[in-house]
Structure 1
Amino acid sequence: MSDDKPQPHPLLDDEALDRLDDFLASERVDADALDLIGAHGFLVALAVAPRDVPPATWVAELFHGEPAFDGDAEREEVLALLERLRRNAIEVLEAGGLPELPFDLELGDLAPEETPIGDWCAGFMEGVFLDETAWFAEDEEAAATLLLPFMLLSGLFDEEPDMAELANDRRRLESLVAQLPELVLDLYLHYRVPPETPKPKPRRKAPAGRGGKRKR
């Protein structure tokens, strides 16, 4: 029996991801800046976001300031790779595809926050916090429901009683991890793809003598 589930698309090739990983892990970047996994989640959130965030804003947030770039060429190279990841995420999601996430979609015996899954979801939520008002403006309840898996897996909300209870449901966590690419697409469709508007009904011709034209 064939599996009809679409295969996830990588948002950057391995060479580009390695380049970003090396730079983000270097001492020229603030210790509180996002690492590669967190940055990936952050940029996917920006691709999904209800409205665009100015590059200067999200770059400063991702790096927690300005890294010590080795000249303009490296600055342009790194920023171009980050923007390409964001744009590729938009293109994949716009086509109804699934983004490939840079880790295995299984927790093993670990808590989510002890895995790359938790790091990625924490980075994703950083992207949400950057323009939180826009995410919750239209339909707060729907937004909270769609974002719940990312919040739960991020480990950022473990002290909230409701979250702590959900975090103990291991089967639920494993199910959410396996669905992460689909959950990203669901968010994109919610925020970026407007519902189809019904086709306008053809106007009925008014009868002659009541505003309509008389037959000649």
Structure 2
Amino acid sequence: MSDDKPQPLPLLDDEALERLDDFLESERVDADALDLIGAHGFLVALAVAPCDAAPAAWVAELFHGEPDFTDDAEREDVLGMLERLRHTAIEVLEGGGLPELPFDLELGGLPPEETPIGDWCAGFMEGVFLDETAWFADDEEAAATLLLPFMLLSGLFAEEPDMAELAKDGERLEGLTAQLPELVLDLYLHYRVPPETPKPKPRRKQAAGRGKGKDRGKPKRKK
């Protein structure tokens, strides 16, 4: 049997990722700014988010302020790469594809927070925190369930007893890590692709004198 699972698609080419990595690691960026892995997770979260964040808000959060850009050209180049990563993530997910993540999808027996996987999920959660109310507004229980893997792998909630208990299950953590691209797509479908509503069928003309009381062909609305 052939595996028809779609292959993950890169969100930026290697050359752009390398340039972005060099800039984020430079002295011109605040020490508390997100690194490349964290920024990747952060921007994927923004691609999934139920509401678009204003660029000024997410740029300030990602960099922890304004970097010391050499000139306007460099600023445009760096911010352009970040925006391209976010936009490509939307395009990939909108087409039902999976985003390629910039690390191997395995923990190798290490705690997630000691791996790039933890850094990426922590960056993703930073994107959620940017507008946490919007993520949980419509269905808090569904949101909590869908975000649980990212919360668990991020290591940001290790002090919470329930999370600490779940974190002991290494096999579960490995399974969630392997499924990260699919879990991102699940979130996108939940927030960005509303369930299809059946199109109303055209009414047939009724013969004169027929009763109007019952619409038998009308689909019942589910609440």
Q: TM-score, normalised by structure 1?
A: 0.95
Residue deviations 1:157-208, cap 9 Å, x none? 0111110010000110000000000000000000000101112033243441
The 5 Å alignment of 1:72-111 reads: 72-111=72-111
Aligned residue number for residue 65 of structure 1: 65
Q: How does 1:56-205 map to 2 (within 5 A)?
A: 56-205=56-205
User: What stretches of structure 1 of length at least 5 have no aligned partner?
Assistant: none
In structure 1, C-alpha distance between the alignment counterparts of 2:44 and 2:198, rounded to whole Å: 31
Describe the SS at the equivalent of 2:15: helix
Q: Which runs of 4+ in 1 moved over 6 A?
A: none
Q: Which amino acid aligns with 1:56?
A: A
Instruction: Please state how far the C-alpha of 1:110 moved relative to its aligned partner.
Output: 0.8
Alignment correspondent of 1:42 = 42
Deviates more, 1:190-199 or 1:202-211: 202-211
Q: Percent identity?
A: 87
Residue matched to 2:208: 208
Query: What letter corresponds to residue 78 of structure 1 in structure 2?
Result: V
Q: How many residue pairs end up in the alignment?
A: 212
Partners of 2:160 and 2:203 in 1: CA distance: 55
Counterpart residue number, 1:30: 30
Aligned-partner SS, 1:4: coil
In 2, distance between residues paired with 1:13 and 1:207? 64
Q: Are residue 5 (structure 1) and residue 5 (structure 2) matched?
A: yes
Distance in 2 of aligned mates of 1:25 and 1:60: 17
Counterparts of 1:181 and 1:34 in 2: how far apart (Å)? 21
Paired with 2:90 and 2:192, the residues of 1 have a C-alpha distance of 10
Q: C-alpha displacement at 1:2, in angstroms? A: 2.7
Deviation at 1:65, TM superposition (A): 0.1
Q: Name 2:18's counterpart in structure 1.
A: 18
Secondary structure of 1:34's partner? coil
Q: Distance in 2 between matches of 1:127 and 1:107?
A: 23
2:50 match: secondary structure: coil
Measured in 2, the distance between the counterparts of 1:109 and 1:132 equals 31
Distance in 2 (CA, whole Å) between partners of 1:211 and 1:116 is 67
Ranges in structure 2 where 5+ consecutive residues have no aligned partner:
213-223
User: How far apart in 2 are the matches of 1:151 and 1:178?
Assistant: 15
Aligned CA-pair RMSD:
1.3
The amino acid that maps onto 2:69 is F
TM-score, normalization by structure 2? 0.92
Deviations 1:91-140 (Å, cap 9, x if unpaired)?
Answer: 00000000000000000121000000000000000000000011000000
Paired with 1:81 and 1:50, the residues of 2 have a C-alpha distance of: 22
